[in-house]
Structure 1
Amino acid sequence: METSCDETAAALYDTEAGLLGHALHSQVDMHQAYGGVVPELASRDHIRRLLPLTDLALKQAGVSLKQIDAIAYTRGPGLAGALLVGAGVASALGMALGIPLIGVHHLEGHLLSPLLSKQPPDFPFLALLVSGGHTMLLDVQAFGRYTLLGETVDDAAGEAFDKSAKLLGLGYPGGPELARLAAFGQPASFDLPRPKMHSPDLDFSFAGLKTAVLTQVSKLGSSLCEQARADLAAAAQEAITDVLAHKTARAQQVTGRRTVVVAGGVGANRRLREKLGAVFSARGVALFFPELEWCTDNGAMIALAGAMRLAANPQAARPAGAFDVLPRWDLTQAGSV
């Protein structure tokens, strides 16, 4: 069960047969009027949607509740109220059915989502995780063994997309809207910064880029015509993806990994895929992206991560009725909390 932010999702995963059923509802239409996620509305909508979606996923799989061995739910990170909905439903079902719970780290779900593909990557691999307010590079030695190589020191890549889109008067969610507009623009029309791209570390910083976009919008004022908006959108996208591609390429050199995985919502960006594809194809490095439906929040990645956690360590199962969430949670400690 996934309820960390603005998608409600449920899925059923079998360790031998794979994904059996999944259902998802996006709250995008509801939040568009506010230009971003309203936590209280998100939580209330999760309450309405989660049980019907669970029923739908079970019907797709042809499985009854009594056949389930365990329930995985997103324990964190995310919006506290939204997380509590999933934790509450999972806890109630666990008690009613007498089965254990697995509290899953939301980002671990994204990290493992490429394993849902028909041709999944093998461990170990280097991962670029770009999801919502998170941008990080991880050396993944095996399931549950993650070393953080670099992360954002301020705004994440997804936030840079969303905030730039808002400055350009685009709708919510901003990332996909900015990418669509960028297709009609000339990125060379604006010279935007690439913060920390050439720093010796593997950290990211995108707050300065957002400020640069704001400066250009203010400078143009009433002269910000549709073509100028498209050009600025293209320039912003080019700057963000340049930094992500450059840092990921450096991390691959540092680690020597011959497999690179890109996961999270920004991983759906076509320009980022093009740049990373060009870099790693030339190096003979295998590059994996999850299918587009697994890039955004979904229940399948949570079910998969829960199944893998339970298989790797049966002691990780929490007792039926366990009820807590971790709105802030270090991914490298996901298996020890």
Structure 2
Amino acid sequence: MRLHPKVLTPRHVSRVASNINYRSRRPLITLAIETSCDDTSVAVLESKTDIIPGNPRALLHFHKKITANNSAFRGVHPLTALYSHQENLANLVNEAIQHLPEAYDSHTNAISIRDGWNNVNMRRRPDFISVTRGPGMRSNLFTGLDTAKGLATAWQVDLVGVHHMQAHALTPRLVKALQPTEAHGSSAATTEPEFPFLSVLVSGGHTMILHSASLTQHAVLSNTIDTAIGDCLDKIARAVLPSEVMSNAKTTMYGALLEEFAFPDASDDIKRISKSKKGTEEAESRNEYPLEDSTAAEYCAKYGAQGGYGYAVPKNGEDQRTRGMTEWGWSFNPPLSRPSGGGKSRTLDMSFSGLQSAVERVIQFGMDKSTGKVNKTERPPTGITLEERRAIARESMRTVFEHLASRVVLALQLIAEDPDSTSIGTVVMSGGVAANRFLRFILASTLTARGYSELRIVFPPPSLCTDNAAMIAWAGLEMYQAGYRDPYSIRAIRKWPLDELLSPPQDG
């Protein structure tokens, strides 16, 4: 487990912060662009310096996202996503500019904007442009980056290239800043959660556990050795969900559909959360961004009855394996374990491809209950009852989420054993899969059962778990306030390890 920065090599270019402190200056405004995958998103964020009780530390003047229609491909199609960026980004930027704060006589840093009625209005020029630089699909990244460079050049302002995963890790700090403050002075200016904290980033492209020691230090403690958790759930969903559910799907976020299908009797709150992630999302008020911030025990008490999960943390590995046995004769072994017991239980590695294959075999062949082995002949789709499909959905998610939760507990234990590390009081979870309520409940339940009941767990609202420009704006703002900015010559980085945040590879 490495908690210290990497040594720079010739393939890296170091990002060095200036020695200017921007926190005491006037409020800052940034226009942010996110185009790393299939979501085209633009935001306008303003930081506040005159913090008074009842007002937030940051204002989101504009935030909108358009997701490419990849439903015909049942997954992200690179060209479809790229075309969507090219069609929608300029229009979103134009709309965002209309929402810049008005410029008054005291503002010399102003630009003239024409509205839909050809009226000229004076708006405050953004102080800098924030844009996702990587990691992501290179062509998609360049679409956003080139647009950001054009805006920065035309307005003669600074540019901040943001690391996509750093932005996810900082999202809870954004949401906290959007909430009304309760105090004056330095206590109101404190950004929470404070460092250090444990970041759990779970999405369609990434699954990692980070030791977030500071704004720019995020040591990777655990990573998947194969596929990401979101990709695994999407592929399981495509195998498990009935054909009528798939044909009527308006989104390619099949993991969210899998949760809704697995728990049809879940509370209205859970169903609302699942639906809130579909289509275009726009927020006009900070009240639309509630932050779930509680101890693990408090979360279990609040959502245990609502979820209808009937879940209890397994006592040990054997209990975990036997509990998963179903009336259809199949069960799913925990990843990186052996059917007979044992395995890599003390490793921080994560793996999800094996479970995905096991689910596909059960769907395709079913199990011979007399032998406990997979049947040799395929069964037709009609040979799988709706009840069994729901059971497969629930058990596959349970197995995946318990695997992740066990690594979170192990990471906390290893940090506590490191004499050079500061103890962790908060776990934050972000990324698209973080919106899954079953995952949240299993994590909270596991932490409570393993002696971390008073550990603080923080979840952003679902609309900010998935890719969005608001998180890019906030990460850019924090980096800018710390003195970081990038030259107009920067390039997009397809692969950018988070522990190389300040030394991005030239050939990424």
Aligned to 1:212: 358
1:134, 1:159 → 2: CA distance?
9
Aligned to 1:249: 409
1:22, 1:72 → 2: CA distance?
14
Contact 2:134/2:496 (8 A) holds in 1: yes
Superposed CA RMSD in Å reads 2.0
Structure 2 SS opposite 1:117: helix
> How far did residue 26 of structure 1 move?
3.3
- Please say if 1:35 is aligned against 2:98: no
Structure-to-structure mapping, 1:181-330, within 5 angstroms: 181-184=261-264, 189=326, 190-196=330-336, 198-220=344-366, 221-222=379-380, 223-256=383-416, 257-281=424-448, 283=452, 284-313=454-483, 316-319=484-487, 321-330=488-497
Contact 2:125/2:155 (8 A) holds in 1: no
Aligned to 1:25: 65
> How far did residue 274 of structure 1 move?
0.7
2:164, 2:154 → 1: CA distance?
25
CA spacing shift, 1:73–1:258, aligned 2, 3 Å: same
Deviates more, 1:16-25 or 1:263-272: 16-25
> How far did residue 270 of structure 1 move?
0.5
Structure-to-structure mapping, 1:47-196, within 5 angstroms: 47-62=86-101, 67-118=125-176, 120-169=192-241, 170=246, 171=249, 172-184=252-264, 189=326, 190-196=330-336
Equivalent pairs counted in the alignment come to: 333
> How far did residue 193 of structure 1 move?
2.1
Tell me the TM-score normalized by structure 1: 0.93
Return the letter of the residue paired with 1:116.
L
2:480, 2:65 → 1: CA distance?
27
> How far did residue 229 of structure 1 move?
1.4
Larger helix proportion of the pair = 1
Return the letter of the residue paired with 1:27.
T
1:61, 1:231 → 2: CA distance?
49
Return the letter of the residue paired with 1:21.
H
After superposition, give the CA deviation of every residue in 1:101-142 in whole Å (9 maximum; x if it has no partner).
111111111111111223741111011111221100111111
Larger Rg: 2
> How far did residue 66 of structure 1 move?
5.3
Return the letter of the residue paired with 1:199.
S
Deviates more, 1:148-157 or 1:197-206: 197-206
Contact 1:132/1:156 (8 A) holds in 2: yes
Structure 2 SS opposite 1:126: strand
> How far did residue 67 of structure 1 move?
1.6
Contact 2:130/2:160 (8 A) holds in 1: yes
Return the letter of the residue paired with 1:231.
A
1:66, 1:43 → 2: CA distance?
31
1:125, 1:242 → 2: CA distance?
21
> How far did residue 323 of structure 1 move?
4.6
Return the letter of the residue paired with 1:246.
S
> How far did residue 27 of structure 1 move?
2.1
Gaps (5+ residues) in structure 1? none
1:24, 1:81 → 2: CA distance?
21
Contact 2:222/2:407 (8 A) holds in 1: no
After superposition, give the CA deviation of every residue in 1:25-66 in whole Å (9 maximum; x if it has no partner).
3325x1011111111111111122122222333434435575
Contact 1:193/1:208 (8 A) holds in 2: no
2:132, 2:201 → 1: CA distance?
17
Contact 2:129/2:152 (8 A) holds in 1: yes
Return the letter of the residue paired with 1:126.
L
Return the letter of the residue paired with 1:149.
L
1:251, 1:271 → 2: CA distance?
21
Structure 1 SS opposite 2:142: helix
> How far did residue 322 of structure 1 move?
2.5
> How far did residue 253 of structure 1 move?
1.9
Aligned to 2:47: 15
Gaps (5+ residues) in structure 2? 1-32, 49-56, 103-110, 112-122, 180-191, 266-308, 310-323, 338-343, 367-378, 417-423
> How far did residue 188 of structure 1 move?
5.2
Contact 1:7/1:24 (8 A) holds in 2: no
Structure 2 SS opposite 1:203: coil
Aligned to 2:83: 44
Tell me the TM-score normalized by structure 2: 0.62
> How far did residue 9 of structure 1 move?
0.7
1:303, 1:88 → 2: CA distance?
17
Aligned to 1:4: 36
1:160, 1:188 → 2: CA distance?
21
Contact 2:44/2:96 (8 A) holds in 1: yes
